[in-house]
């Protein structure tokens, strides 16, 4: 993984009220002055989100899909043009290194990444070409990602019409996938998500055309709130250098368990069949009385002991303050937790100030700052007994064994 990306500033940051986002969304707006109103419009299908800071890597050539299949966790061979999927590129230990969204146009495979992923992914793929008929290019400086909760192709003028649209498959269980979340009504089923690839030079024109038809701009905070509510993993937010796919329920959309012979496959199979992921993703409902939010990296505590960390938090327009966190597997699903942080983000009442936690502050504490804390109730995303499917009786839940990974 790479931790840096070229500096970028969207042309839409000059819009009235725009406040620059930080961390993964640096270079676009966190909001335009009314984050909850923007989020509500996005959820209702009447807003778009500028995600032009995202990375875009293309792979062309007749061997591209079979080659990507040999390198990644997903079967991409024979991928139908226009069909959306995602895949993971893992380390030899099975840890997530890259997690691109994937769509093919019949001649080129498009990999939509976070900004900090793109250069590293393109460089690594280039080293793996050998004698195969593939060409890799980082085209992030030419293409923009415009996000909405519906497909906007019919609404855009010809000169800005997206070359492709990636429709998020989450939370559906793909071929060869496996769901760890034990719920009949997954909250992600209510979230439709479309990432439109348009020429970067046409970004302003595309947004203006949509505004003429009653659409508005929403910031990245709105997108994050809907993502958190849907339990949707995001590279660089919910991942760290130790993350394996099982911990985030990524097995449902990004891993094909019937394929082998790719880097990290042994860990994927061993943990799924015989073991348990050492950590697990959980959804948190936070006490909203403080009108603030913990920053990424805030500690999650049980009886005064750190048992995990918050990966993302936002104020949801209906659910209030919510978060995703990665916990030790040994934490009981019904335990009431405490989130503690010295760097907090403001909710809508403080939206006129840019209070987002910075990369330097996230995950650390300041000796001079008073700690703020929130009571947090869990909704289990990945249960403690996830994995160990060999020999398991269907429908039975086993409790965790052991203490899990140190956090």
- Give the 3-state DSSP-derived string for 200-234, with helices as H, strands as E and coil as C: HHHHHHHHHHHHCCCCEEECHHHHHHHHHHCCCCC
Torsion 254-182-247-275 (CA) sign: negative
pLDDT band at 346 (very low <50, low <70, confident <90, very high): low
pLDDT band at 355 (very low <50, low <70, confident <90, very high): very low
Query: Does the pLDDT value for residue 176 go beyond 80?
Result: yes
Give me the mean pLDDT over the 380-397 stretch.
Answer: 75
pLDDT band at 404 (very low <50, low <70, confident <90, very high): very low
User: What tokens does 176 get?
Assistant: 């060869």
- Please, what is the average pLDDT of the chain? 90
Give me the mean pLDDT over the 188-210 stretch.
Answer: 97
Alpha carbon distance 67, 73 (integer Å): 12
- pLDDT tens string 258-269: 998 999 999 999
pLDDT at residue 84, rounded to an integer: 99
pLDDT at residue 226, rounded to an integer: 99
pLDDT at residue 360, rounded to an integer: 32
Weakest mean pLDDT among 28-37, 143-152, 284-293, 383-392: 383-392
pLDDT at residue 98, rounded to an integer: 99
Give me the mean pLDDT over the 286-307 stretch.
Answer: 95
Q: Are 210 and 290 in contact (CB under 8 A)?
A: no
pLDDT band at 362 (very low <50, low <70, confident <90, very high): very low
- Nearest C-alpha neighbor of 113 from the set 130, 99, 127, 97: 99
pLDDT band at 194 (very low <50, low <70, confident <90, very high): very high
pLDDT: is 1 or 239 the higher one? 239
pLDDT band at 395 (very low <50, low <70, confident <90, very high): very low
Query: Does the pLDDT value for residue 394 go beyond 90?
Result: no
pLDDT: is 181 or 57 the higher one? 57
Alpha carbon distance 249, 234 (integer Å): 11
Q: pTM higher than 0.75 for the full model?
A: yes
Alpha carbon distance 261, 265 (integer Å): 7
pLDDT band at 112 (very low <50, low <70, confident <90, very high): very high
Which residue has tokens 């929130």? 374
Question: 276-387+396-407 maps to which CATH number?
Answer: 2.40.30.110
Query: Does the pLDDT value for residue 223 go beyond 90?
Result: yes
pLDDT band at 363 (very low <50, low <70, confident <90, very high): very low
**Dihedral angle, C-alpha 211, 215, 217, 221, nearest 10 °:** -170
Query: Does the pLDDT value for residue 369 go beyond 80?
Result: no
Query: Does the pLDDT value for residue 366 go beyond 70?
Result: no
Q: Are 316 and 39 in contact (CB under 8 A)?
A: yes
Alpha carbon distance 315, 39 (integer Å): 10
Q: Are 163 and 239 in contact (CB under 8 A)?
A: no
pLDDT at residue 347, rounded to an integer: 55
CB under 8 Å to 394, separation ≥6 — which residues? none
220-229 vs 35-43: helix axis angle to the nearest 10?
60
Query: Does the pLDDT value for residue 364 go beyond 60?
Result: no
pLDDT at residue 3, rounded to an integer: 55
pLDDT more than 90, % of the chain = 82
The angle subtended at Cα 49 by Cα 43 and Cα 51, nearest 5°, is: 140
Give me the mean pLDDT over the 115-124 stretch.
Answer: 98
pLDDT more than 70, % of the chain = 87
Query: Does the pLDDT value for residue 407 go beyond 90?
Result: no
Give me the mean pLDDT over the 358-363 stretch.
Answer: 32
Pick the CATH number of 11-229 from 3.40.50.1970, 2.30.42.10, 3.30.1360.120, 3.20.170.30: 3.30.1360.120
pLDDT: is 398 or 200 the higher one? 200
Alpha carbon distance 386, 210 (integer Å): 44
Pairing mode, strands 216-218 and 47-50: parallel
Query: Does the pLDDT value for residue 113 go beyond 70?
Result: yes
Query: Does the pLDDT value for residue 211 go beyond 60?
Result: yes
pLDDT at residue 268, rounded to an integer: 98
Q: Do domains 11-229 and 276-387+396-407 have the same CATH topology?
A: no
């Amino acid at each position: 993984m790479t931790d840096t990306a070229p500096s970028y500033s969207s042309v839409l940051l000059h819009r009235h009220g725009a406040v620059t986002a930080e961390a993964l969304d640096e270079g676009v707006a966190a909001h335009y002055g009314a984050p909850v109103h923007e989020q509500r419009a996005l959820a209702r299908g009447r807003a778009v989100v500028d995600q032009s800071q995202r990375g875009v890597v293309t792979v062309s050539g007749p061997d591209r899909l079979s080659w990507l299949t040999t390198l990644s966790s997903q079967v991409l061979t024979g991928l139908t043009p226009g069909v959306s999927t995602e895949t993971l590129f893992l380390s030899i230990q099975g840890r997530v290194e890259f997690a691109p969204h994937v769509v093919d146009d019949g001649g080129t495979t498009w990999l939509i990444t976070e900004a900090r992923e793109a250069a590293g992914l393109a460089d690594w793929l280039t080293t793996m070409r050998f004698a195969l008929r593939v060409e890799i290019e980082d085209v992030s400086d030419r293409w923009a990602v415009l996000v909405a909760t519906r497909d906007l192709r019919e609404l855009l003028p010809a000169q800005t019409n997206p070359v492709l649209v990636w429709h998020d498959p989450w939370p559906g269980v793909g071929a060869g996938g496996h769901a760890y979340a034990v719920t009949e009504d997954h909250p992600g089923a209510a979230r439709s998500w479309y990432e439109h690839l348009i020429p970067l030079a046409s970004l302003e024109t595309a947004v203006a055309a949509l505004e003429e038809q009653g659409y508005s701009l929403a910031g990245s905070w709105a997108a994050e709130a809907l993502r958190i509510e849907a339990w949707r993993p995001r590279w660089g937010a919910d991942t760290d250098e130790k993350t394996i796919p099982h911990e985030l329920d990524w097995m449902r959309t990004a891993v094909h368990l019937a394929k082998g012979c790719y880097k990290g496959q042994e860990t994927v199979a061993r943990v799924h069949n015989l073991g348990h992921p050492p950590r697990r993703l959980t959804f948190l409902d936070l006490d909203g009385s403080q009108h603030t939010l913990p920053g990424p990296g805030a500690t999650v505590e049980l009886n005064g002991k750190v048992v995990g960390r918050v990966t993302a938090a936002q104020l949801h327009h209906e659910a209030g303050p919510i978060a995703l966190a990665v916990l030790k597997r040994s934490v009981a699903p019904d335990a009431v937790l405490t989130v503690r942080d010295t760097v907090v983000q403001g909710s809508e009442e403080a939206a006129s100030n840019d209070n987002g936690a910075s990369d330097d502050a996230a995950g650390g504490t300041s000796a001079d700052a008073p700690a703020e804390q929130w009571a947090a109730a869990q909704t289990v995303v990945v249960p403690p007994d996830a994995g160990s499917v060999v020999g398991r009786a269907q429908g039975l839940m086993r409790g965790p064994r052991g203490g899990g990974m140190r956090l």
